[in-house]
């Protein structure tokens, strides 16, 4: 029986067999099975865009094997002096990339869990990280590195506090504080602030080697932000979402108040009867803004139901109107500003951008429908963004 090419099947089979044998004799293995394409990593983890969010690519490969797809992220810290260097704090450990996410490495730190990291504004080799020591100690700690995370020295242990429990029989129990957040004063880097789960605002004036309590809140501190231009200007986020401000490094604090917030589009009052804070409108995300034409400090805050901007250091606020897909607004969980002034706000799985100080917004979809935790703008490249998703 002939094939369509005119060869008998038997003749064709003999020729193929002879050719295969000749190749084996000549090459000793020149014919190799085709390699199997690598299995793509699961969705999630870190993604990067170099064109302002038009295209987004996953960046999750860890040196030595493994991927960052299934992480529970806690913080992303970019290094302004070396913008291709990022630190990722997650429940699974502390990770670093030196090539903008192309490859990650897990750093060894003597902690059971890491909660926060800060990079010295003028020396990228100096780091401070906070977290919890391994069992049986389990105490809140701060560690310092002079080698970009290669080696660490313990510099602080949070003291234990005693609290009363029980309604009928009152008992005291010992509570170990967790150091939830640590950050440098950008204009005076030897000053470092830290906040604990028991409400202590700590300060160090020698680069983190010695610490003292500066202020005590009635609830835990969950986040700290320092002004990029004014020493001592500090924003403190508390456990219920309340946001407080200090202009003197924590000596005195005041509530960031929204009672006089105005709608940017209508100019009328928003009608909110309290400041940031549970149960009305807890703050989720905070960012200081660059305002080159003003000496006042710009602040962008995303809350459980809205987005707010202040152009005068938090004295007055405007509510920015980002598009909504329904009657129930989605929490704004991350905010950022690019070097060219573009504002970014992440709400649900949608990221919004504004090129006119928040007057109008455009939406872009992200790779996943849920789990977006952080949106980070590169401090040096206007169009580079990082998106970090948590495991579902």
Q: For residue range 41-51, list pLDDT tens digits in order.
A: 889 999 999 99
Q: For residue range 283-332, list pLDDT tens digits in order.
A: 889 999 988 777 789 999 998 888 999 999 999 999 998 886 544 467 89
Locate the domains of the chain by residue range.
108-255
| DSSP, residue by residue, 171-218 | EEEEEEPPEEEEEE-SSSTT-EEEEETTSEEEEESSTTSS-EEEEE-S
pLDDT of 159 higher than 50: yes
pLDDT of 38 higher than 80: no
| DSSP, residue by residue, 291-313 | -TT-SSPEEEEEESS-EEEESST
Q: How many CB atoms lie within 10 A of CB 212?
A: 9
* Average pLDDT score over the chain: 84
Nearest alpha carbon to residue 334 among 319, 353, 361, 317 = 353
The per-residue pLDDT for 329 is: 63
What percentage of the chain carries pLDDT values higher than 70? 80
Least confident of 53-57, 93-97, 164-168, 195-199: 164-168
* CB contact at 8 A, 284 and 214: no
Q: Which of 168-172, 234-238, 271-275 has the highest mean pLDDT?
A: 234-238
pLDDT of 268 higher than 50: no
pLDDT of 94 higher than 80: yes
Can you read off the two tokens belonging to residue 318?
Answer: 């405007």
In degrees, to the nearest 5, what angle opens at C-alpha 11 toward C-alphas 6 and 13?
110
- Cα separation, 142 vs 194, in Å, equals 9
Average pLDDT for 253-280? 56
The per-residue pLDDT for 166 is: 60
Q: Give the chain's radius of gyration (CA, Å).
A: 27
Average pLDDT for 262-270? 52
pLDDT of 266 higher than 60: no
Average pLDDT for 256-265? 63
Fold of 108-255: Methylamine Dehydrogenase; Chain H (2.130.10)
HSE of 180 in the Cβ direction (CA atoms, 13 Å)? Answer: 19
The per-residue pLDDT for 25 is: 36
pLDDT of 3 higher than 50: no
What percentage of the chain carries pLDDT values higher than 90? 63
Average pLDDT for 253-264? 71
The per-residue pLDDT for 24 is: 39
CA distances from residue 333 to 102, 300, 375, 390 in whole angstroms, order as listed? 25, 12, 9, 13
């Amino acid at each position: 029986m002939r094939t369509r090419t005119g060869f008998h099947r038997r003749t064709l089979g003999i020729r193929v067999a002879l050719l295969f044998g000749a190749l084996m004799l000549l090459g000793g293995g020149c014919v190799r099975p085709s390699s199997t394409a690598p299995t793509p990593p699961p969705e999630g983890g870190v993604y990067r865009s170099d064109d302002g969010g038009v295209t987004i690519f996953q960046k999750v490969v860890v040196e030595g094997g493994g991927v960052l797809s299934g992480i529970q992220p806690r913080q992303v810290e970019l290094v302004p002096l070396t913008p291709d260097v990022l630190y990722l704090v997650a429940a699974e450990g502390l990770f670093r990339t030196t090539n903008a996410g192309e490859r990650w490495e897990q750093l060894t730190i003597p902690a059971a869990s890491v909660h926060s990291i800060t990079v010295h504004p003028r020396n990228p080799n100096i780091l401070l990280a906070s977290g919890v020591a391994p069992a049986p100690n389990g105490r809140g700690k701060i560690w310092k590195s002079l080698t970009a995370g290669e080696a660490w020295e313990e510099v602080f242990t949070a003291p234990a506090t005693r609290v009363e429990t029980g309604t009928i029989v009152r008992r005291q129990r010992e509570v170990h504080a967790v150091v939830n957040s640590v950050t440098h004063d950008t204009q005076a880097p030897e000053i470092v602030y830290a906040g604990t789960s028991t409400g202590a605002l700590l300060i160090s004036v020698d680069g983190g080697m010695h610490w003292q309590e500066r202020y005590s809140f009635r609830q835990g501190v969950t986040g700290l932000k320092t002004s990029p231009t004014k020493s001592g200007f500090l924003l403190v986020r508390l456990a219920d979402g309340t946001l407080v401000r200090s202009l003197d490094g924590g000596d005195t604090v005041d509530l960031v108040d929204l009672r006089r917030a105005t709608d940017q589009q209508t100019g009328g009052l928003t009608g909110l009867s309290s400041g940031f804070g549970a149960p009305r409108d807890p703050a989720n995300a905070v960012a200081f803004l660059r305002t080159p034409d003003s000496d006042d400090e710009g602040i962008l805050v995303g809350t459980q139901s809205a987005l707010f901007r202040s152009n005068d250091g938090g004295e007055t606020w405007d509510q920015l109107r980002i598009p909504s897909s329904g009657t129930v607004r989605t929490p704004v969980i991350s905010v950022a500003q690019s070097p060219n002034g573009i504002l970014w706000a992440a709400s649900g799985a949608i990221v919004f951008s504004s090129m006119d100080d928040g007057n109008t917004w455009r939406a872009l979809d992200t790779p996943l429908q849920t789990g977006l935790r952080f949106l980070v703008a590169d401090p040096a490249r206007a169009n580079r963004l990082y998106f970090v998703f948590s495991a579902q």
